[in-house]
Amino acid sequence: TGADRRRLQSAGLAAGRVPATLVHPTAVVGADVEVDAGCYVGALTVLTTHVRVGRGVQVNVGCTISHDVVLGDFATLAPGVHLAGAVSVGQEATLFTGATVLPRVAIGAGAVVGAGAVVTRDVPAGATVVGVPALPLRRD
């Protein structure tokens, strides 16, 4: 999880270690893309332009990250996640396999987006959304 990566990176920094940033050679990284320390960008991922990837973010295989996207520290994108333009993903948020987020949508810190969900509106911090369109998960 993002929280686990945060703890590990903090412990490493305290011990004088420098976090590695790994970008697979088949990833496409466009102009004005900033990838912070301790990140992983997987194979066949595309980051277009004006993208900011925070510390310790994990962007798995085959993701597409469109223009003007901000990924908060220690966020996790599972394989095949697609983010349209001007999306923001909060710290330690997790988007599962095949999730799609439409333009100008914000995913709050610690939020979870279920596999295959299509997010059409903002997701509050800590919320879990699933489905098409993505709706809050009911806990009966």
Q: Which residues are catalytic?
A: 67
Query: How far is Cα 19 from Cα 80, in angstroms, rounded to an integer?
Result: 25
Reduced to 3 states (helix: H, G, I; strand: E, B; else coil), residue 123 is strand
Sign for the CA dihedral angle at 124, 130, 133, 139 comes to negative
- CB atoms under 10 Å from CB of 34, counted, come to 12
